[in-house]
Chain A
Amino acid sequence: QKEVEQDPGPLSVPEGAIVSLNCTYSNSAFQYFMWYRQYSRKGPELLMYTYSSGNKEDGRFTAQVDKSSKYISLFIRDSQPSDSATYLCAMSPYNNNDMRFGAGTRLTVKP
Chain B
Amino acid sequence: EADIYQTPRYLVIGTGKKITLECSQTMGHDKMYWYQQDPGMELHLIHYSYGVNSTEKGDLSSESTVSRIRTEHFPLTLESARPSHTSQYLCASSERGTVEKLFFGSGTQLSVL
Contacts and interface: CB of A to CB of B under 8 A. Distances in A.
A96 B94 contact: yes
Interface size class of B (residues with CB under 8 A): 20 to 34
- Which of B33, B92, B102, B105 has the largest number of chain A CB atoms within 10 A? B102
B56 A97 contact: yes
Contacts of B33: 96
Interface size class of A (residues with CB under 8 A): 20 to 34
Contacts of A42: 106-107
A49 B41 CA distance: 21
Closest 4 CB pairs of A and B: A43-B104, A49-B100, A101-B43, A101-B42
Interface of B: 4, 6, 31, 33, 40-43, 45, 48, 56, 58, 90, 92, 94, 99-107
Contact of A100 (B4, B31, B40, B42): B42
A88 B33 CA distance: 17
Contact of B99 (A32, A41, A88, A100): A32
Given A36-B102, A46-B101, 7 more contacts: A42-B107, A44-B43, A44-B90, A97-B48, A103-B42, A104-B40, A104-B42
A43 B107 contact: yes
